[in-house]
Structure 1
Amino acid sequence: MGRFDGRVAVITGAARGIGFGTATRFAEEGASVAIVDLDETAAAEAAARLPLVEGAKAIGVGADVADGASVDAAIERVVTELGGIHILVNNAGITRDNLLFKMTEEDWDLVMGVHLKGAFLMTKAAQKHFVEQKYGKVVNISSTSALGNRGQANYSAAKMGIQGFTRTLGIELGPFGINVNAVAPGFIATEMTDATAARLKMDVDEFRRLNAEANPVKRVGGPEDIAAAVTFLSSDEASYITGQTLFVDGGISLGV
């Protein structure tokens, strides 16, 4: 018996990186999984690679999380094809890093649209089903950048906004059997952080080494570290936890 037998989990931005690692963990523990991504082909290919248990299914769904009609259609497709929805992980995200005086209005709007508006629209669409069945789990992906990070005024503001969004929904949705929490990753070795190294004209291994040295546990994280936290908060073991943000960052947020 897996923790998520009979459950349907929806993970946005899950064609790769943290999202795919999280989708993999849900599949290993018995869930049927919907991978939602802007690129439907990539989403379908990722879904086909999931290690499903007997009786579970996986689909890839193309959707723009910053567009209400696209989100509504995606959730309805999940419910129709997988038979319901029990867990939502708002993971989709982009970066458009720059110092404030160089940051464009488009850079700001794109990041806010995917992270904050995307979480808002996906959760609003899912909660209709959660409220009706008196059961639901929402996990929003924040970041240690929420605490402030040079060159990321848009991303930092969006990720701190996710934490306020999470606390408010914990209050609003708790009476309906819905738990809402957030996970704030530190440095995680993914294609996104590798791209940051490339932008900084740094060797990927050296970039990872420097980030490992900056935290107390002296290693960088992997998608599996975030997946472990997300699946715990999505499980019934965490039914008395809501409105919280769990930092999974090797201790970097301790400031030591």
Structure 2
Amino acid sequence: MKSQSVIIVGGASGLGLVTAKLMVSHGAQKIGLIDRNEQMLFTAAETLRSLGVEVATAVADISRAETAHRGFDEVAAKLGRIHALVNSAAIYPRKSILDITDDEWDLENAINIKGTYHMMVAAVRHMRQFVSPPEVAGRIVNVTSVDAFKAHPQNAHYAATKAAVVSLTKSFAQECAKDQILVNSVAPAGFATDRAKELGFLPELAKASALGRAAEPAEMAEWIVMMASSRNTYATGENVVISGGYIYV
């Protein structure tokens, strides 16, 4: 990540912030954060600045094209060329398949699918300005989930959106190959976030994992950093499942 500029959507907390910190430790010099929570965004930016990097932020509703693109462009105007985009923003509700309302479907689709799509479009429009074959013009990494491949109770709408993002990743990879933009996704199993601990499924996941434990966020972030970094020069359209042997795809 040396001398790279990266935008992380959903970077104010959770895996997004962990990934930002890890990128800084790998040499990233400019970090852009886009999130809907202004206070958490401010706190995350201050944390990263204390590590000695330049940080730009934007509060944005990524479910709408105009606001999502405005947020990306606002950050890019401050940081200059963006080498990588990480889409880490998502909502994770829990509800029986018989009880999901239209409004809940719409919200899940708006953030997890449309939001990811809008940010990818903004990134491609920016990155294609820097096409200089055979050099890579940019990299996009979407955070998906093993839930796209393995059913679990009470999260059908979440799982469906993550399966859609896997498909979007492949479509963008194919269309953007001519512009030397690499598009991939990383699909974690559940890992030890505060939200996962609150929901209480980590012990069950640990038992089902071949390694006998849930992952730490930093272990998932390593794979995101790898796919977003200059070490990735050839992989595109791939979905990397990181599950500790919980699922084999």
**Normalising by the residue count of structure 1, what TM-score does the alignment of the two structures yield?**
0.90
Counterpart residue number, 1:50: 48
Q: How many residues align?
A: 242
Instruction: Please tell me whether the aligned partners of residues 18 and 223 of structure 1 are also in contact (alpha carbons under 8 angstroms).
Output: yes
- 1:190-227 deviations in Å (ceiling 9; x for gaps): 12212323xxxxxxxxx433321110011111111111
- Partners of 2:51 and 2:43 in 1: CA distance: 18
Per-residue deviation, residues 10-66 of structure 1 (Å, max 9, x unmatched): 111121111111111111122211121101221121121127665x30133211111
Please state whether the residue corresponding to 1:184 is helix, strand or coil: strand
1:121 to 114, 118, 122: 118
- Contact 2:142/2:165 (<8 A) preserved: yes
Q: How does 1:176-191 map to 2 (within 5 A)?
A: 176-191=179-194
CA distance in 2, matches of 1:220, 1:131: 38
Q: Does 1:195 pair with 2:198?
A: yes
Q: Distance in 2 between matches of 1:81 and 1:93?
A: 25
Higher mean C-alpha deviation, range 129-138 or range 207-216: 207-216
CA distance in 1, matches of 2:77, 2:171: 29
Deviation at 1:123, TM superposition (A): 0.6
Instruction: Report how far residue 253 of structure 1 moved.
Output: 0.9
SS of structure 1 residue aligned to 2:34: strand
Q: Show the counterpart of 1:152.
A: 155
Superposed displacement of residue 132, structure 1: 0.9
How many Å separate the matches in 1 of 2:51 and 2:180?
27
| Aligned partner of 2:164 among 152, 161, 165 | 161
With normalisation by structure 2, the TM-score equals 0.92
| C-alpha distance in structure 1 between counterparts of 2:4 and 2:178, whole Å | 21
- Which of 220, 230, 233 pairs up with 1:239? 233
The answer for unaligned runs of 5 or more in structure 2 is: 132-136
Extract unaligned runs of 5+ from structure 1. 198-206
Matching residue of 1:204: none
| Root-mean-square deviation over aligned CA pairs | 1.6
Secondary structure of 2:117 counterpart: helix
- Which residue of structure 2 lines up, in the alignment, with residue 39 of structure 1? 37
> 1:132-154, CA deviations, whole angstroms, 9 ceiling, x for partnerless residues?
11211000011011112221111
- SS of equivalent residue, structure 1 residue 236: coil
CA contact (8 A) 1:182 1:246 kept: yes
> Can you list the C-alpha shifts for 1:73-130, whole angstroms capped at 9, x where unaligned?
1111111111221111111000222112111111111111111101100010111111
Instruction: Give the percent of matched residue pairs that are identical in Structure 1 and Structure 2.
Output: 28
| Deviation of the 1:156 alpha carbon | 0.7
